């Protein structure tokens, strides 16, 4: 409760139409039954509800004889006649009676709302129709999603073996999250009927793998995966569905089934992105269920030499988790090679740590010292922390003492903060040592973002960095002065630019209109609900007031690993947290030793680099979000989340040796990072990484590459509108498309990537892309947002 709220004024208001009299309440209690039934035609929901209550109290003996008369008296040209007839059906039900003929008529009504209501009535009165599965099958195939949803849930009470097959036919129509959940629950409710038949091979859903996958994933039964593997081996799974089927086999399979997935992942002709996905699934299962593929796993060796650094990294991680000792030498060479990319090197060092033993410790100690470069020393120290925490802490301080903030030492601090005794050990190692103030501040932010009180470590970092001040706290007078400064001098336009700065990193954890991080709340309307002083406090002292549902949970596992984050979901099998890096972390419930509430994931000190004037601008921007004006998010479906191609040497080389169209493919040489549109929906082009071709005119700018995604749930025509075509080249998936201010799209169901090449010499404005409906089209398309 906000302390500014008093105990006198409530927050529930009665709204009336100015200049119009209030609706008069009818006298219902003493009204004759025919008049009461007539009130069921009232446009006022309150009147209809109260009339039904009085009718129910009068009982079936008095009311049922009058019901057919009222229905017969309804005017056929009344546009609401179907709703009135539904009221009659509900009245029958309230009196513990069912009019089967009326129900049958309303199930086929022209009004989808009436069909949905009648379907729910049928769900509560299944015995009034003969072939209930047949009737509900028609409803499952209804053109309206609400009717389909009601039918799917109605089938959950039908113990006929055909019921699950009927329910799963809803997958042949556009799905939404509500129908998805309803079908998931129905599969679980009926598993006692259909699961034994699947296990016995009697039920295959017509070899429709999508239906089998959904059903098996819904119940999570690890003993029923054999039919899926059989379909895979028999070649009965379409190429575009193999990934989802293999994912379910990985999620639910035993060692034998995992071996099949492993063989798929290591097949010579398998594409790299698919190999990465399969291996990630296998390593996740090893962590969660403590099982691994059966048989000889040395076939993973060639993947350690893959061109893709991402594939090298996930392969190295698997070698360490599965403790394939025969590949230790390969891991060592990968870790020490000058050609190895940072991500692959870190994974190789982590795998060496997982292999364990004196040999691993000796190598990691060697790599933490000179003459190794700082990135190698940091990665080796992070790995060493898994093997020897005390020795790693000593080496970590040695490394930290020689780093600058540009070396990004966050991973070093995280390695200790993620272990039960890590913070205390690191604090001890800092005794008598000196760090730069910037490095110490980074450590303090990491400690603050850990979600736990780290007073000992914080004190050691302040001493080592010579930091004498703590978190900034304003007096009442200073707060009032800051509020006045925000209102009189704060500039929201400048504030938005500060909000978007990489060094402030607001978008790392917060989204605006769904685009950005999910660690903290979406700020789309924060200005309409939060006062200026609350915003200032939230920035300076994040733990003072934490928004509901964003308190952290701290979990310690039986191996001393500490996980901190906002709880995303919890089941009988796992707890999933979203950590400070906006990554979902799955923790098996059986491995949890301790759990406790934590503090905010927003670290103290993020605003230290801002001047008071910049802080005022930032607060002014946030205070305008959600208010009518320049910073109100429009209802237009604009692209807000982008991916931007980074101008790495590998990417530049690849573009120079091929063509711009290569950017529209999943090339291993490319590294894409997220970027976000402004509140107005414009992606600024200034500052985008530029890739240049050979033999360019002196002084000419290069080309930037960005992409966004559309998701089509119902195929059909839609329209894409650009603010300008200047300097743009476009591909949909990997197919070139001529650009125009307005482009008609006709995309099939699924996700589609829109890639834009931006000639930075020709384009003088940012990029705004808007999706619009086409009149008469049934297409359902959304702009993919998120992080």
Mode of pairing for the β-strands spanning 750-759 and 728-732: antiparallel
pLDDT-derived band of residue 6, with 50, 70 and 90 as boundaries? Answer: low
> How far from each other are the two terminal CA atoms of the chain, in whole angstroms?
31
Tell me how far CA of residue 185 lies from CA of 123, 189, 190, in angstroms. Answer: 15, 6, 9
What average pLDDT does the segment 611-634 reach?
Answer: 93
pLDDT-derived band of residue 700, with 50, 70 and 90 as boundaries? Answer: confident
Runs of H (alpha helix) within 128-271: 132-140, 145-155, 162-168, 177-189, 191-199, 209-219, 226-233, 242-252, 255-265
Architecture of domain 552-598: Roll (2.30)
327-365: per-residue pLDDT in tens? 999 999 999 999 999 999 999 999 999 999 999 999 999
The CA distance from 149 to 199, in Å, is: 27
Q: List the single range of 314-328, 544-558, 698-712, 763-777 with lowest mean pLDDT.
A: 544-558
Fold of 637-783: Jelly Rolls (2.60.120)
pLDDT-derived band of residue 504, with 50, 70 and 90 as boundaries? Answer: confident
The answer, yes or no, to whether residue 2 has pLDDT greater than 60, is: no
DSSP string, 735-746: EEE---SEEEEE
DSSP string, 360-401: HHHHHHHHTSTTS-HHHHHHHHHHHHHH-HHHHHHHHHHHHT
Q: Is residue 106 within 8 Å of 87, Cβ to Cβ?
A: no
The answer, yes or no, to whether residue 695 has pLDDT greater than 60, is: no
Domain ranges of the chain: 33-218, 358-469, 471-540+606-631, 552-598, 637-783
- Cα–Cα nearest to 162, from 184, 123, 193: 193
Q: Is residue 292 within 8 Å of 300, Cβ to Cβ?
A: no
Q: What's the pLDDT at 227?
A: 84
CATH 3.20.20.70, domain 471-540+606-631, yes or no: no
User: How crowded is the C-beta side of 401, counted as CA atoms within 13 Å?
Assistant: 14
Ordered strands of the 769-773 beta sheet: 637-638, 769-773, 716-722, 742-747
Rg of the chain over CA atoms, in angstroms?
31
225-235: per-residue pLDDT in tens? 888 888 888 88
Max avg pLDDT among 196-210, 392-406, 511-525, 717-731: 717-731
The CA distance from 606 to 540, in Å, is: 8
The answer, yes or no, to whether residue 313 has pLDDT greater than 90, is: yes
Crossing angle of the two packed helices 177-189 and 145-155, in degrees rounded to 10: 10
pLDDT-derived band of residue 644, with 50, 70 and 90 as boundaries? Answer: very high
Output the CA torsion sign for 679, 682, 686, 691.
positive
pLDDT-derived band of residue 368, with 50, 70 and 90 as boundaries? Answer: very high
What average pLDDT does the segment 196-215 reach?
Answer: 89
Overall CATH class of domain 33-218: mainly alpha
Name the pTM for this structure.
Answer: 0.76
- Same topology, domains 552-598 and 637-783? Answer is no
Q: Is 464 left (phi over 0), alpha (psi -120 to 50) or beta?
A: alpha
649-690: per-residue pLDDT in tens? 889 999 999 999 999 998 878 999 999 999 999 999 998 999
Q: Is 775 exposed, middle or buried (0-12, 13-18, 19+ CB in 10 A)?
A: exposed
Phi and psi at residue 481, in whole multiples of 5°?
-65, -40
Q: What's the pLDDT at 413?
A: 95
């Amino acid at each position: 409760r906000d302390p500014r709220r008093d105990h006198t004024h409530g927050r529930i208001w009665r709204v009336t139409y100015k200049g119009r009299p209030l609706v008069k309440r009818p006298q219902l209690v003493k009204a004759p039954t025919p008049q009461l039934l007539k009130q069921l035609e009232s446009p006022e929901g309150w009147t209809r509800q109260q009339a039904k209550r009085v009718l129910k109290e009068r009982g079936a003996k008095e009311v049922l004889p009058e019901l057919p008369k009222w229905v017969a008296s309804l005017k056929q040209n009344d546009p609401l006649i179907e709703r009135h007839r539904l009221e009659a059906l509900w009245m029958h039900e309230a009196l513990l009676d069912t009019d089967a003929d009326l129900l049958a008529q309303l199930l086929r009504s022209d009004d989808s709302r009436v069909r949905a209501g009648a379907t729910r009535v049928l769900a509560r009165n299944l015995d009034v129709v003969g072939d209930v599965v047949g009737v509900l099958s028609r409803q499952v195939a209804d053109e309206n999603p609400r009717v389909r949803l009601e039918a799917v849930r109605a089938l959950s009470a039908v113990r006929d073996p055909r019921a699950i097959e009927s329910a799963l036919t809803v997958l042949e129509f556009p799905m939404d999250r509500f129908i998805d959940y309803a079908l998931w629950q129905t599969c679980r409710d009926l598993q006692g009927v259909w699961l034994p038949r699947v296990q016995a091979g009697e039920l295959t859903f017509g070899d429709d793998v999508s239906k089998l996958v959904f059903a098996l994933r819904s119940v999570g039964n690890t003993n029923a995966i054999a039919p899926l593997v059989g379909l895979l081996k028999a070649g009965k799974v379409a190429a575009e569905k193999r990934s989802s089927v293999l994912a379910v086999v990985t999620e639910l399979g035993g060692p034998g089934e995992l071996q099949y997935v492993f063989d798929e992942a290591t097949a010579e002709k398998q594409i790299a992105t698919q190999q990465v996905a399969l291996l990630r699934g296998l390593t996740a299962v090893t962590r969660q269920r403590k099982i691994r593929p059966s048989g000889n796993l040395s076939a993973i060796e060639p993947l350690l030499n893959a061109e893709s650094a991402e594939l090298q990294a996930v392969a190295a991680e698997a070698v360490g988790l599965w403790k394939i000792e025969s590949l230790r030498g390969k891991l060592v060479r990968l870790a020490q090679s000058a050609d190895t990319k940072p991500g692959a090197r870190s994974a190789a060092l982590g795998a060496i740590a997982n292999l364990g033993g004196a040999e691993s410790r000796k190598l990691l100690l060697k790599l933490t010292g000179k003459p190794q470069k700082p990135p190698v020393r940091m990665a080796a120290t992070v790995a060493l922390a898994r093997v020897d925490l005390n020795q790693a802490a000593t080496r970590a301080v040695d490394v930290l003492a020689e780093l600058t903030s540009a070396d990004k030492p966050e991973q070093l601090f995280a390695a200790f903060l993620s272990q039960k005794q890590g913070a205390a050990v690191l604090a001890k190692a800092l005794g008598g040592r000196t760090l730069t103030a910037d490095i110490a501040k980074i450590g303090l932010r990491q400690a603050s973002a850990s979600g736990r009180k780290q007073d000992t470590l914080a004190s050691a970092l302040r001493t080592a960095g010579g930091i004498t001040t703590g978190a900034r706290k304003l007096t009442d007078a200073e707060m009032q002065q800051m509020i006045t400064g925000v209102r009189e001098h704060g500039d929201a336009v400048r504030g938005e630019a500060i909000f978007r700065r990489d060094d402030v990193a607001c978008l790392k954890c917060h989204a605006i209109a769904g685009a950005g991080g999910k660690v903290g709340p979406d700020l789309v309307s924060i200005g309409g609900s939060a006062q200026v002083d609350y915003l200032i406090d939230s920035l300076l002292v994040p733990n003072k007031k934490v928004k509901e549902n964003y308190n952290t949970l701290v979990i310690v596992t039986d191996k001393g690993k500490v996980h901190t984050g906002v709880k995303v979901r919890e089941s009988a099998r796992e707890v999933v947290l979203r950590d400070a890096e906006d990554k979902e972390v799955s923790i098996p419930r059986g491995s949890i030793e301790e759990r406790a509430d934590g503090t905010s994931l927003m670290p103290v000190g993020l605003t230290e680099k801002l001047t008071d004037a910049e802080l005022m601008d930032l607060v002014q921007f946030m205070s305008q979000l959600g208010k009518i004006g320049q910073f109100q998010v429009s209802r237009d479906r604009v692209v807000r989340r982008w991916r931007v191609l980074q101008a790495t040497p590998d990417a530049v080389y690849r573009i120079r040796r091929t063509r711009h169209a290569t950017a529209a493919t999943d090339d291993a040489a490319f590294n894409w990072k997220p970027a976000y549109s402004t509140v107005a929906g414009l992606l600024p082009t200034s500052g985008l990484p530029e890739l240049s071709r050979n033999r360019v005119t002196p002084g000419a700018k290069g080309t930037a590459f960005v992409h966004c995604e559309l998701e089509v749930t119902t195929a059909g025509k839609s329209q894409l509108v650009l603010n300008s075509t200047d300097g743009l080249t476009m591909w949909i998936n990997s197919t070139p498309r001529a650009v125009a201010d307005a482009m008609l799209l006709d995309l099939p169901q699924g996700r589609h990537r829109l890639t834009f090449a931006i000639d930075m010499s020709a384009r003088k404005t940012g990029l705004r892309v808007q999706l619009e409906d086409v009149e008469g089209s049934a297409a359902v398309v959304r702009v993919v947002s998120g992080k």
